[in-house]
Chain A
Amino acid sequence: MLADLQPRTATTSVDPPSAPPPPPRRRLRDRISRIDAKWAPYLFVAPFFVIFGIFGLFPLGYTAWVSLHEWDISGPGGFIGLNNYVTLFGDPDFWNAVLNTVGMLVLATVPQLFFALVLASLLNQKLRGLTLLRMGVLLPIVTSVAAVGIVFSQIFDRDAGMVNGLLGLFSIEPIDWRADKWSSWTAIATMVNWRWTGYNALIYLAAMQSIPRDLYEAATVDGASKIRQFFSITIPMIRPALLFTVIVSTIAGMQLFTEPLIFGQGSFAISGGSLRQFQTLSMYMFEKAFRDFDYGYGSAIAWMMFLLITLLAVVNFLITRRSR
């Protein structure tokens, strides 16, 4: 379609607006086009800002307001200042959810990014069938998210699961993966790792491919080993991509919800197991707001999550920027 336009613009440049239309009509047209030039941009960005303002920004800010109130399904009660937050800081279930979320975040992010880096450097070579290979590593992200939860819940099942079957080959007793913190975290983190490793690998691969070849050639001439080249050239050169993936996976990890919820099964799903072994912050917020209908308290949890995410993003940013 772009090509179709080329001849048209060419003819217009040959034929400049040399024959002026009658003056009155022209003035009207000028005015219209001036109004158009002035207001069209606002009209173009308006739909976004109107809808995003009502359904995105406003709720975000209003969450803070709600969190300062006693507020349940029947509507706002009294203004109670920071009381919800005071209660929250003394709430063991909240700290449990923070611990679970951060624990799974670490278990899910560190291996994910490490394996992505390895996979990317393997893919960053002259290979046959590169497109197929890339599509292969990307298969997990096109799996419907609840499907991931369902498949891995079965794979990690105590009685019927494949993981326990494989462990049995080494005479390891079957593990009840849902029962403990460490085991449920591992199972849930496995889902996240499986789903996102390939995606991150492709981001790293793109960054690696933009590194000039002669850097490596010069290093080879200087006698630097492959490993040395990886740490002294590749890693520093792909730092923006590293930063991007660390921040994105941190933000996503702090909001982990679907995988643990599906993993929970049955009636203890939203509480993340009978002892809240794997209840994340999102799940706790959801439980308070949409099971107990305590909107005020739920909003306080939402804001604490927001602060934690911001804090972690800033810390990540500073660490990644500093380490050379």
Chain B
Amino acid sequence: MRRTQPLLYLTLLAAIALSAFPLYWLFVVATRSNDVVGDWPPPLTPGPNLGENTGRLFAAEDANFLLGLLNSALSSVVVTVSVVFFSSLAGFAFAKLRFRGRNALLLIILGTMMIPVQMGIIPLYMIMVELGWQNRMEAIIVPALVSAFGVFLMRQYAERAVPEELIEAARVDGCSTFRIFWTVVLPALRPGAAVLSLFTFMGTWNEFLWPLAVLEADNPTVQFSLSQLSTTYYTDYTLMFTGALIATVPLLLVFVGFGRQIIGGIMEGAVKA
């Protein structure tokens, strides 16, 4: 134990206080009434108004907050399951199976991984018009069902985590390739899949630009609904903060439940949220 320790802890505590304070403030304002939010010094303890604010939030016209929550929950869950499944499937094929054109296909994935998909939103919108999917959740869900980044991540993971002997043994057993994937590979990929699902869930939950383009205010996602609040009710801070708080709770729950895996995933590198 060196003598610098107390100072070190103090600095770290200050850093954590800084990163936690806006969240705490989010909570405090959501439990207060509008008359006191702008006071100086600001109220720093929770008040009694959370219930009332929540009631006003769900009753707020134009925001459709409840529907926004449901839409986001639906799309986040479906997209997460799909991305994890298809990424594992393709990742396994790229890591462990031999086929013509494998390297060329992999190169396409690597090359497009960093390209922001929102660069293509104008034609994407035109496609949705053709399909009649404007203002429908299909428009949010279907294009997000697969992810180049996910395939890349699962390929890296499969390379390390799935032993060749296991696959060979299953083949000798007469297993079909899909059966091998399902019974041998998928279980071995579970830790990688956990990380991918957490990041996909958070990413889908936070998606904003595309929903804003293709959805309308009467069928929003939760972030859309929040932005709707901030345009219509921008003087009503307690209302906006209550919405922001409720929109953050699912992510916080995921974080508390899977914090270790998230940290592990980030620290294993090359994981973006």
Residues of A within 8 A of B (CB): 1-2, 5, 8-9, 12-13, 16-17, 29, 33, 36-38, 40-42, 44-45, 47-49, 51-52, 54-60, 62-63, 66, 119, 122-123, 125, 127, 131, 133-155, 157, 159-160, 162, 165, 168, 194, 197-199, 202-203, 205-207, 241, 244, 247-248, 251, 255, 257-258, 261-262, 265-267, 269, 282, 286, 289-290, 295, 298-299, 302-303, 305-306, 309, 313
Docked-complex contact B231 and A12, CB < 8 angstroms = no
Q: Which of B33-58 contact A (CB under 8 A)?
A: 37-38, 40-42
1/0 per residue, CB under 8 A from A, across B152-192: the answer is 00000000000001100110111011100101100110100
Q: Chain B 7-21 against A: per-residue CB contact (8 Å), 1 yes, 0 no?
A: 011011001101110
Considering the complex, give the chain A residue whose CB is closest to the CB of B260: A131
Contact partner of A154 among B29, B93, B178, B272, CB < 8 A?
B29
Nearest CB of B to A257, in Å: 5
Contacting pair A45 B120 (CB below 8 A) = no
Interface string of B126-150 (1 = CB under 8 A from A): 1100000000000000110110100
Q: List 9 A-B contacts (CB under 8 A).
A: A9-B170, A122-B15, A144-B247, A145-B223, A147-B226, A153-B234, A194-B19, A202-B267, A289-B121
CA distance A118 to B270 in the complex (A): 20
Count of chain B residues with a beta carbon within 8 Å of a chain A beta carbon: 108
B116 CB contacts on chain A under 8 angstroms: 251, 255, 306, 309
Are A302 and B146 in contact (CB-based, < 8 A)?
Answer: no
Give the contacting residue for A142; candidates B89, B117, B248; CB below 8 A. Answer: B248
- Contact, CB under 8 Å: A139 / B23: yes
Contact among A47, A142, A168 for B86, CB-based, below 8 A: A47
Q: Which residues on the B side are within 8 Å of A41 (C-beta)? A: 93, 97-99, 102, 177
Query: Which residue from chain B places its CB closest to the CB of A190 in the assembled complex?
Result: B22
Q: Which residue of B lies closest to A154 (CB)?
A: B237
Given known pairs A2-B187, A147-B247, the reply for A57 and B99 (CB within 8 Å) is no
Given the contacts A33-B176, A66-B122, A286 and B209 also touching, CB distance less than 8 Å: yes
**Nearest A-chain residue to B262, judged by Cβ:** A138
Chain B 241-272 against A: per-residue CB contact (8 Å), 1 yes, 0 no?
10111011001101100011011001111101
Residues of B within 8 A of A257 (CB): 208-209
In the bound complex, how far is the Cα of B177 from the Cα of A151, in angstroms?
A: 51
**B residues 54-104 with Cβ under 8 Å of A?**
86-87, 89-90, 92-94, 97-99, 102
Are A206 and B269 in contact, with the CB atoms below 8 A? yes
How far is A2 from B252 in the complex, measured between Cα atoms in Å? 30
Rounded to whole angstroms, the CA-CA distance of A313 and B99 in the bound complex is: 32
Contacts A143-B23, A305-B119 given: A133-B251 contact, CB under 8 Å?
no
Selected contact of B251 from candidates A122, A143, A197, A302, CB within 8 Å: A143
Decide if B240 touches A150 in the complex (CB within 8 Å): yes
**Distance between B152 CB and nearest chain A CB, rounded to angstroms:** 11
Contact of A135 among B205, B259, B269 (CB under 8 A): B259
Q: How far is the CA of A147 from the CA of B208 in the complex (A)?
A: 12
